[in-house]
Chains A and B, each alone.
Chain A
Amino acid sequence: MRKILAIETKLYLREWPVMLFTIALPVGLLLVLGSIPGMGKPDPALSGQRVTDTQLPAMMTLLAMLTLAFTVLPTVLTTYRERGVLRRMSTTPVHPSRMLVGQLVINVAVGAVSTVLVVVLGRLVLGTAMPRQPVGFVLVFLLGTAALMAMGLVIASLAPTGKAASGIGSVVMFPLMFVAGMWIPREFMPGALRVFSDYSVAGPFAQAMRATWAGDWPQPLHLVVMAAGLVVFGGLAVRLFRWE
């Protein structure tokens, strides 16, 4: 397993443009948007928070995780299946599920690096506070990431080719970004959209992350939706995933 991780990590780093979208883009956007003058002022509509306090950093973390879960992970796995990489591996004593586990570990690790950079650079450059509820923050990160990755695996199960996977992934990802509050913070959403947002897995992930950043515990509803997403989509992926 260690060798699979080592070699898959090398292969991942050779596809370095992926890093632009999953690390450079969210971190860069955080710093650029956060530096716009109006962003650093307390906003009564955000309960007196600044945009740079929780909204912006949570969204940038979500951007990284959505990109990883919906485009990177399904594309790699589907391409491996399409090219027969998984099929070749199934002729050896090691089951190709190890490859899937390896890809999950690497993608979560890249997401963690991106998140740490958002937290640290936000603190250093924009004066954003460190997450005030660190244990809750880590738990939310793990639960939300697991739920999103499970959704990505369902895409990898359904898509026939790598290209189809990245297409389907994008089609799912952008509406999810919207309802999660990428362009309109949840506070500004009309009631119906807000309900939709609260059940979208990505929305609860963003809101729970914002809550722990501000020092609160997440809403139980948001935790339940993420856990349900993990169970439902994880179960679907287990049933639907094909090795060849």
Chain B
Amino acid sequence: MTNEELIALAAQEAEDAKKYRYCLDICTGTGCMSSCSDAIATAIEAEVRERGLQNEIKVKQVGCMGLCASGPILSVQPLGLLYREMTPEEGVAVLVSLLDEKPQVEKRIDTLQPFFSRQERNVLENTGVIDPERVNDYIAVGGYTALIKAITEMTSAEVVQEVLHSGLRGRGGAGYPTGLKWSTVAKVPGELKYVVCNADEGDPGAFMDRSVLESDPHRVLEGMAIAAFAVGASQGYVYVRAEYPLAIKRVKSAIKAAEKMGLIGQAICGTPFNFRVEVRLGAGAFVCGEETALLNSIEGNRGMPRLRPPYPAQSGLFGKPTLVNNVETFANIPGIINNGGAWFARIGTEKSKGTKVFALTGKITNTGLIEVPMGITLREIIYDIGGGIPNGRKFKAVQTGGPSGGCIPAEHLDTPVDYESLKNLGSMMGSGGMVVIDDSSNMIDMARFFMEFSMEESCGKCAPCRVGTVQLYNLLGKFQAGIATEEDLTTLEELCDLMRNTSLCGLGQAAPNPILSTLRYFRHEYLEKIQPSVAAPPEEAL
């Protein structure tokens, strides 16, 4: 497919869209699907057919609209109305009210509220807007123009340069400069190179990557293809956890559709650039989100991290130079190529550019998926966008970065969200999970929850992580039970230090963070649990 064909197709789609009076979009992301949103679509479609209005009313299944707390959500275009907590009957009622030219007021979501107005959506610009299973929908909103621009108008070096210029950093959590990674892989000589998309999102409370894949899979494929062009790769893998069946289904269908269109595959757009993509399923091990363990898993080996160096850029998948980026990182690429690195770099802070997608969960009014510019404060996210803490409770802390991150207490709510600031607070950006904790929760419970997670997910390769997580978990149990000693506190801190410094991979090194950060900000909760007497009771209480 050439650029002209692409533009023609987009124009055709726009023309087709015009003939409908209304378009009813129903969220069919996993969250709304769990409330049977597909049944709403079916019911409305049936009603439309019964009334013979197929040429007037379009019913479309789209991806996540963000305000998951109010799902299932129905959106009415071009009026821009949103309806919350729909049922099939209510969906039909909305349709009827539209046909009566009196759009229903009940259950309408205020689209002017800060949840919507304070966001800046780049990665998520199409989610909840297009039908993820129709490649034409993506093309209609300008999809794949970036890929065609890259491969027909730019050199590989220029693409890398543009990404470098954007200041984009890895969205998987560590924040390594994406352009630098690309230029490294590009420089390593090799006939065969790989591009791998890390979609093994596994933090408790995180669903950013899942939502992007479910709502806009072509965007990720496009980003991958551009990356492949830039680094000289011809084969790509999307590594998705098997627990994401809907994402897998949509990525697979997107690959097929894009191949059919000639947007990936052999001789893309008549250029010599070839790029094939395959999906690989992870069996749900958290450690496989660590890039070297992920590569082992794709190769069919046990998902255990490898030693670095050599880094995947040098010797990655099957020993070949490999670029591993996260879903959201790839999803940022088309925008950067279309609008330029400078456009991207204007958003955000000095060291953290662009926007970031977060999954807001926990004790917060507006549970959901948001995208905000870097540098926004935690307070703005939690109180303005998130709508604050429900049930009249008080904010206590927010956990970012999942089991590898830490909690941030109220006194730091005005911290700008960027890689460095969060790290300085003892937490991390992470992949974008934000779990809000209110004053009804105990921080030791929280630390132990995450330690249990790390314990279950430790791969077992190195001793500090394999045994350290269990010992930490047990020690936290003594604190919970109120039978800990002063010595236990020392042991707890020493073990955290050991794991941080001697574990083999990032999982083990970061696993103590929930303990360290709760100790930093809520030490009194630990001290309250320490027994005054020297003699501890036997530990079989555990």
A is bound by B: no
Residues of A within 8 A of B (CB): none
Residues of B within 8 A of A (CB): none
